[in-house]
Amino acid sequence: MKYTVEMSNKLNELLERTYDAEKGFKQAADKVDNKTIKQFFMDSSDQRHNFGKELKAEIMSFGEKPEDSGSTKGTLHRSWINFKSLFTSNNEEAMLEEVHRGEKEAIETYNDILHDKDFVLPPTTESLLMKHRNAIRNTLETANIFETAVS
């Protein structure tokens, strides 16, 4: 497989997850009443929107085509959030639990790409992915603080 195609495939996987997270955070914001948590979800959705723009530009820099929608898995995850929110007494806590799970998976995906010994990332791509991963870690930490506060 040509290097640029393989790089594009890896970045498109992240892009799909980014679309999923953006939609998931927006959906979570629509489901909670707490204004602070709602703002956290909206800010996180906006952040992922910006991540998507950056990933698209990086993919295009390799002469490849970026994905234009999220994954089936992400759609299923958002459906689970809808279902779960119908049957839980504390929407904020349920949504934050889902954020925790999703952010941990996102960090693992970024780490898998960043630490792949068989694949050398260009410095600009590595820097971008590290910036995203570190921001996701911060989002996870904030979600954990909110989850502790509402439980």
* Residue ranges of domains in the chain: 3-150
Residue predicted with more confidence, 121 or 130 = 130
pLDDT tens digits, 3-16: 678 888 889 989 98
Residues 134-143 have a mean pLDDT of 96
Residues 74-87 have a mean pLDDT of 49
**CATH architecture type of domain 3-150:** Up-down Bundle (1.20)
Give the pLDDT score at 107: 94
Residue predicted with more confidence, 41 or 71 = 41
Whether the pLDDT of residue 33 is over 60: the answer is yes
* Per-residue exposure over 55-88, b if at least 16 CB sit within 10 Å of its own CB, e if not: bbebbeebebebbeebeeebeebbeebeeebeee
pTM listed for this prediction: 0.84
